[in-house]
Chains A and B, each alone.
Chain A
Amino acid sequence: MNSASAVLLQTSNWADRAPVEAATAASRAGDRVKGVLTRFRLLVFMAMVVLILANGKAQEILGNPKVSLLLLLYLFSIGAMTRLDARFFENRGLLSSAFIVDTVFITFSMVLAGAAEADLFLVFFTTVFISALSQDVKSVFFVAIVSCALYSFLHLKTHGAITFSDTGVLVRFPFLFIAASLSGFLAMETKKQQEENHRLVGMNQVLASQADASTLKLIETNRKLKTLLEYHHCVLSSLRTGIIVVRKDGTVRTFNSGARAITGQIEGEMAERRLEDMPENLASVATALKRTLAEGKGLLQDHLELKSTRSERVPVTLETSLLKAGNGEVIGAIATLKDMTLLRQMETQLLRAERFSALGEMAAGVAHEIKNPLNAISGFSKRLSNKLTEPSLKKYADIIAEEVVRLDTIVNDVLDYSRTDHVDKKLANIHELLGTTTMFLEEKLEKAGVMIEKEYQEGLPPVPLDISKIRQVLLNLVLNAVQATPAGGKIVLKTKLIEGLAPELVEGKGDGAVFQQLFLQQKMAAVSISDNGCGIAKENLSRLFHPFFTTKVTGTGLGLSICQKIIASHGGLLDVESELGKGSTFTFYLPLED
C-alpha cells in the first residue's frame, strides 16, 4: 500500500513536468536570441565609434549634439535590452522592429559620420543575415526592403541619381534580396527543425508519462484484481454454507470449505470432477445440478439428508440455480448446501417443549379426574377394612387401599414429570441436603444392608437450587442405587467443584450448542452417586432418561426422566456412567452462578 501510493506520487510529478519543460525550452530560445542580439548591437555600437574616430572630422562629429544623443540612446537601448525578459525576444514583430531601428540607426550614424562613401551595402547584408534570427521570411524581406530603400536614399544623396550604367549599384539590390531569401529560408528550415525537435521531445515526454501512467494503472488494476480474488476466496471459504459450482459441461469448478464441512469431501479431490463421477454421498446434489442444467431452472430441496464421510447423517437444505455470465448466457450451475442440524435441533427442542407443556396440561387434568374418585375409593376401602372382621374380606379391602396408593404414585409421577420447570432457587449447602436425604433413607439402607460412604469436597460454595426438587432428585438417585446394590454393597456420595465440563461429556447431552457452550465455561458443583451394583446394559444407557422407560418390575419409568428435567431446569446436566456387573455412577452438575 505504501509503495503504491509512493509510485502514484511519482506519476503525478511526471505528468506535471511536461509543460514546465516546454516553458524552459522556450525561454532558452529567447535567451539565445537575446545574447546574440546584445552582442551584435554592442558590435554595431563599437563599429560606429571606431568609424567616427577613424574619420578625420571626429571631433566635429562628436561635437554634434544629435550624434551624441543618438549614440547615448543606442547605448541605453542596449542596456535596457539586457534587463528584458527572455520571453520578450520570442516576439517576431518586436525583433523585426528592433532590426529596422538598428538599420536606420546605423545608416544615419554613417551619414552623420560622413562615412556614407564607404561600402555601406555590406552593413545591410549583415543586418539582413542577423535579422534571420527572427526566423521569419517576411520580416527578413521587410528588413531587406528597408535596407534597399535606405541604400538607394544614401546613394541618391551622395551621387545625385542612379543610372542603368551604374550596374555595380543595381546588382546589389537583387543580391540583397537573394541573401535575404537564403538566410530567411535557412532560418525557416532551422526553425522548422527546431520546432519539429521540440514537438518530438514534447511528444516523447507526453508518451513517456502516458506509458508510465498506464503501466502504473496496470499494476494497480492487477493489485485490485488480486485483492478481489483473495476477497472472493475468503468469502467462499468463510461461508458455512456449502457452495458447489459446476461448468456447463458438468465439471466441478468450485467446491468450498463449507461444502467440505457438510459432505466431508475435500476440495482438491472434487475440483474438475464430472457430475457423473460424484461420490455416492453427493449423488442427490449431482442429480439436482444435472436437472438444473438440463431444465434451465433452479431447484429447492428441503429436508434432505446427506451422509458425511464420517457416516453421520447431516440434515441439509439444497438449493440450485443457474450460473449466468454478464450477457445472460448460461455458463454453469450452482448448488448451495445449508447445514440444518442446529435448526432441526432447535425445532425438535421446541416441539419437545410444546409436547411437554401439552402433556403437563393433560396430566394435570387427568390427575384431577383420577384423584377425585381415588379419594372415595381409598377412604371407603379403609372403612371397609376397619369394619370387616372376616380376615379374607378384610384382606380384599386392604388390597384395594394399597392399589389406590400405587395409582396415586403413578399419577403424582406423571404430574411431577410435567411440572418440573418451575424451580424456586435458593442458595443451599449441598452437603446438608445430602445429609438430610440419607437420614430419611436410613431405615431402607439398613434393611438393604447397604453402606453409605461420603467423599465431600471441602469448601464447596452454596449452590442456587430448589431444595425440594433437588431432594427429589437425590432421593430418586440414592433409592435407585440402593435397589441396584446387593446386601453388603456400598454407595459412594461424592461432591466436587469443577470449572466447566469436559467437551466430550457435554457432546450430544446438553440442549443445543449455546447451552453446551455454557457448560464448558461455567463453574459447577458436581454431585455423584455411585453404587457397586448390577450396572446398566449399554443399550439401555441412552434410553434411561426417556419417560416411561424402566427396567424395574415395578415403577412408572418416570423417575430418571423427572430427575433429568429437574436438573435441566436448574441449567445443569445429569450424566450416567455404568458397566454391567460393576455398578453405576450418576452425576449431576449444577451451575454455581444463577
Chain B
Amino acid sequence: MNNGHITLLIAEDEEASRFLYQEEFTEEGYEVLTAANGLQALGILEDRHVDLLLTDVKMPDMHAVEMIPRVREDHPDLPIIVASAFKGMENDFTLKEFNVAAFFAKPVNMDALKIQVKYLLESKAVPAA
C-alpha cells in the first residue's frame, strides 16, 4: 500500500498503545509521527504537515478537551479521531463542538479504526480532486 505521502500524528501517552498504532499504520504505508503528550503534539502540528490526528483523551499534561480547541485554531479542517479508555466520549459536547470526526473506545478494534482513517482521508481528498 502506498500511503507514504500521507502523514498521521498519533498523540498517546501510553507507550505500548503508541507503539501499536505506529506499527499498524506504518505497515499500512502511512508516515506516522508520534507524540507522548499534548504539548508535543501541538509542537509537531506547528512544524509539520499532518493529514490526520489520532489522539488519546487523558494525557499527563493535557486533556483532549484542552488540546483539540488549540489544534482547531490553526487546523480547522484536520480530521481528528479520538480513542479513549473512557466510555461515552462521543457524548462530550466540547469534542462534538470542535468537530471530532470519530470516536473509538479502547481496546480499539484496529480493523475498524483503519477503515475509519482511510475513509476520512479519502473523503477529505474528494473536494481537492
Question: Which residues on A are within 8 Å of B, measured CB to CB?
Answer: 364, 367-380, 382-383, 404, 408, 412, 415
Number of B residues, CB within 8 Å of A: 18
Instruction: Give Cα A379 to B23, complex, Å.
Output: 10
A376 → chain B, closest Cβ, in Å? Answer: 3
Contacts of B24 in A (CB 8 A): 379, 383
Asked if residues A374 and B87 are in contact (CB atoms below 8 Å), the reply is no
Most-contacted residue by chain A among B16, B23, B87, B107 (CB, 10 A): B107
The B interface, classified by DSSP as helix, strand, loop or mixed, is mixed
Asked if residues A371 and B23 are in contact (CB atoms below 8 Å), the reply is no
Pick from B17, B19, B87: contact of A372, CB below 8 A: B17
A283 → chain B, closest Cβ, in Å? Answer: 55
A4 → chain B, closest Cβ, in Å? Answer: 74
Contacts of A374 in B (CB 8 A): 106-107
Pick from A364, A369, A379, A383: contact of B107, CB below 8 A: A379
Contacts of A372 in B (CB 8 A): 14, 17, 85, 106
Asked if residues A371 and B106 are in contact (CB atoms below 8 Å), the reply is yes
Instruction: Give Cα A370 to B19, complex, Å.
Output: 18
B16 → chain A, closest Cβ, in Å? Answer: 3
Contacts of B21 in A (CB 8 A): 379
Contacts of A373 in B (CB 8 A): 14, 16
Asked if residues B17 and A375 are in contact (CB atoms below 8 Å), the reply is yes
Contacts of A379 in B (CB 8 A): 17, 20-21, 24, 107-108, 110
Q: Does B86 contact A (CB under 8 A)?
A: yes
Asked if residues A375 and B85 are in contact (CB atoms below 8 Å), the reply is yes
Asked if residues B87 and A415 are in contact (CB atoms below 8 Å), the reply is yes
Known contacts A374-B106, A375-B106; 6 additional CB pairs below 8 A are A368-B85, A373-B16, A375-B85, A378-B107, A379-B24, A379-B110
Instruction: Give Cα A412 to B87, complex, Å.
Output: 8
Asked if residues B20 and A376 are in contact (CB atoms below 8 Å), the reply is yes
Query: Can you list 13 A-B pairs with a CB-CB distance of less than 8 A?
Result: A364-B86, A372-B85, A374-B106, A374-B107, A375-B14, A376-B14, A376-B17, A376-B19, A376-B20, A377-B107, A380-B16, A412-B87, A415-B87
Instruction: Give Cα A557 to B20, complex, Å.
Output: 33
B103 → chain A, closest Cβ, in Å? Answer: 14
Contacts of B58 in A (CB 8 A): 368
A15 → chain B, closest Cβ, in Å? Answer: 86
Contacts of B110 in A (CB 8 A): 379, 382
Pick from B83, B85, B105, B107: contact of A404, CB below 8 A: B107
B6 → chain A, closest Cβ, in Å? Answer: 21
Pick from A367, A368, A375, A415: contact of B108, CB below 8 A: A375
Instruction: Give Cα A377 to B16, complex, Å.
Output: 8
Contacts of A370 in B (CB 8 A): 85
Contacts of A383 in B (CB 8 A): 20, 23-24
Asked if residues A376 and B85 are in contact (CB atoms below 8 Å), the reply is no
Q: What is the chain B residue whose CB lies nearest that of A408?
A: B107
Contacts of A364 in B (CB 8 A): 86
Pick from B16, B19, B107: contact of A371, CB below 8 A: B107
A386 → chain B, closest Cβ, in Å? Answer: 10
Contacts of A382 in B (CB 8 A): 110
Pick from B16, B17, B19, B87: contact of A367, CB below 8 A: B87
Contacts of A415 in B (CB 8 A): 87
Contacts of A368 in B (CB 8 A): 58, 85-86
Asked if residues B87 and A380 are in contact (CB atoms below 8 Å), the reply is no
Interface residues of B in 19-35 (CB under 8 A from A): 19-21, 23-24
Most-contacted residue by chain B among A367, A371, A375, A382 (CB, 10 A): A375
Contacts of B86 in A (CB 8 A): 364, 368
B117 → chain A, closest Cβ, in Å? Answer: 14
Instruction: Give Cα A408 to B19, complex, Å.
Output: 21
Top 6 nearest A-B pairs (CB, nearest first) are A376-B16, A371-B85, A378-B107, A375-B106, A379-B20, A374-B107
A399 → chain B, closest Cβ, in Å? Answer: 15
Most-contacted residue by chain A among B58, B105, B110 (CB, 10 A): B110
Most-contacted residue by chain B among A367, A371, A412 (CB, 10 A): A371
Most-contacted residue by chain B among A372, A373, A374 (CB, 10 A): A372
Contacts of B16 in A (CB 8 A): 373, 375-376, 380
Q: What is the chain B residue whose CB lies nearest that of A407?
A: B107
Contacts of A404 in B (CB 8 A): 107
Instruction: Give Cα A412 to B85, complex, Å.
Output: 11
Contacts of B83 in A (CB 8 A): 375
Cβ contacts B38-78/A at 8 Å (1 or 0 each)? 00000000000000000000100000000000000000000
Contacts of A377 in B (CB 8 A): 107
Instruction: Give Cα A371 to B14, complex, Å.
Output: 11
Contacts of A369 in B (CB 8 A): 85
Contacts of A380 in B (CB 8 A): 16, 20
Instruction: Give Cα A370 to B14, complex, Å.
Output: 12
